[in-house]
Amino acid sequence: MQAGQLKFARFKQWAAGLSLLAVSAGALAQPAQSTDPVEWQLNMGRGVTTLSNHAYDAHMMALWICVGIGVVVFAAMAYAIFAFRKSKGAVAATFTHNTTAEVIWTIIPVLLLIGMSWPATTKLIAMYDTRDSEMTVKVTGYQWMWKYEYLGEDVSFTSRLDRESDRVRQSGERPTVEANPHYLLDVDNVLVLPVDTKVRFVITADDVIHSWWVPALGWKQDAIPGIVNEAWADIQKPGIYRGQCAELCGKDHGFMPIVVKAVPKAEFQQWLAAQKAANAPAPAPAAPAEVPTPAPEQTDAAPATAQADTQADAVPAG
Ligand SMILES: [Cu+2]
């Protein structure tokens, strides 16, 4: 009885998987709203940017070429096994070389490789082409959060694991899909970006190597202290796109998720204006700092300022 139930459960799983396959096949024809992975999803997602679509297309082309090769090779093998079986009086071949066959099985793979590498290379070059971007976001990795700066806009903030996920993970409670649908995948401040806009990212880190990865954007980029890496994205559909740090960066590596919220251009401008307005009062209280304090000796002043800057960087205002 147990075994029967188990079998039935397995069957149900398979049936669900197959129906999901059908659903995702339909979804591929009409791009889906969410790019979160679904249970029993077998293929990679298409993503929501030019680059993610490039990656998907290159992947599908390679996949179908592999399928074609597999079919041809296994069909030839099956035919040989069946047609030249011992009971039909087949005898072992005596030749060791066949120049024609060797030329054919060298040229065909070479053509296939060239056929795959040509589009792959153009796509790779496109990945690094950040020209004509309309805005730039600086991403800085910290142990263990991200800092986002909208360059030239005076808007910046940090983004870290939402407090509820953090509480649950440290409480020993068992998270459930119902109670915590985005357990460890939510942040306090999401990165808001406009759709249909070429956004350039400059990516670095302040302490150790991190990696900024949102699968729906189609790439991940290392965040390395002392180095500024570049990437770009043109998100085509409004939505919430999640990612994570993809470089082992310490004990809380698994707890520095990324959430990108893509909104229509007008809504983004409103959001940006609101952020600027919220930041605006900040300079006023800062004014007293300009009041000249008893001037210390010049030799001391420089290191003190440098230290203050470093601290300000290391502990960004949440
Ligand atoms: Cu990290």
Q: Compute the distance from residue 159 Cα to the ligand 1 centre, in Å.
A: 12
CB of 199 within 8 A of CB of 151? no
Query: Across the chain, what does the average pLDDT equal?
Result: 83
Which residue do the tokens 């043109």 mark? 234
Q: What is the DSSP letter of 282?
A: T
Domains within the chain, CATH numbers bracketed: 45-90+99-127 (1.10.287), 135-279 (2.60.40.420)
Q: Which of 12-26, 128-142, 157-171, 236-250 has the lowest mean pLDDT?
A: 12-26
- Residue 181: pLDDT band with limits 50, 70, 90: confident
Q: Determine the distance separating the centroid of ligand 1 and the alpha carbon of 227, expressed in angstroms.
A: 15
pLDDT band at 34; cut points 50, 70, 90: low
Task: Summarize pLDDT for 237-251 with one digit per residue, the tens.
Answer: 999 999 999 999 999
Give distance in angstroms: CA of 222 to centre of ligand 1: 10
- pLDDT > 90 in the chain, percent: 65
Return all residues near 203 (Cβ < 8 A) that are at least 6 apart. 138, 139, 140, 141, 212, 221, 222, 223, 228, 229, 230, 231
pLDDT at 192 over 80: yes
CA distances from 163 to 74, 142, 166, 201 (A): 54, 17, 5, 27
> Ligand 1 centre from 163 Cα, in Å?
18
From ligand 1's centre to the CA of 11, what distance in Å? 40
The total number of residues shown for the chain amounts to 318
Measured in Å, residue 247 CA sits from the centre of ligand 1 at 6
Contact assessment for residue 260 and residue 189, using Cβ atoms and an 8 Å cutoff:
no
Residue 130's contacts (CB-CB under 8 Å, 6 or more residues apart) are 200, 230, 231, 232
Share of the chain above pLDDT 70, in %: 77
Q: What is the pLDDT of residues 253-272, one digit of tens each?
A: 999 999 999 999 999 999 99
Tell me, what's the pLDDT at 230? 96
Greater confidence (195 vs 12) lies with: 195
d(CA 256, ligand 1 centre) in Å: 6
> Rounded to the nearest whole angstrom, what is the distance from the C-alpha of residue 253 to the centroid of ligand 1?
5
**What global pTM score does this model have?**
0.72
Q: Apex CA 42: angle with CA 36 and CA 46, to 5°?
A: 50
**Arithmetic mean of pLDDT, 189-208:** 97
Question: Which residues surround the ion ligand 1 when the cut-off is CB under 5 Å?
Answer: 210, 245, 249
pLDDT band at 121 (very low <50, low <70, confident <90, very high): very high
Residue 187 is classified by DSSP as: B
Q: Could you identify the residue written with the tokens 């401040």?
A: 189
Closest-CA residue to 204 (of 129, 146, 128): 146
45-104 tens-digit pLDDT: 899 999 999 999 999 999 999 999 999 999 999 999 999 998 988 888 888 899 999 999
Could you tell me the distance, in angstroms and rounded to a whole number, from the CA of residue 259 to the centre of ligand 1?
14
Give per-residue pLDDT as tens, 265-299: 999 999 999 999 987 765 555 445 455 555 544 44
Q: Are strands 191-194 and 257-263 parallel, antiparallel or unpaired?
A: parallel
pLDDT of residue 290: 52
Distance 143 CA to ligand 1 centre (A): 6
Q: Is the sign of the CA dihedral 290, 292, 295, 298 positive or negative?
A: positive
- Counting beta carbons within 10 angstroms of the beta carbon of residue 167, is it exposed (0 to 12), middle (13 to 18) or buried (19 or more)? exposed
Q: What is the structure's pLDDT at 38?
A: 84
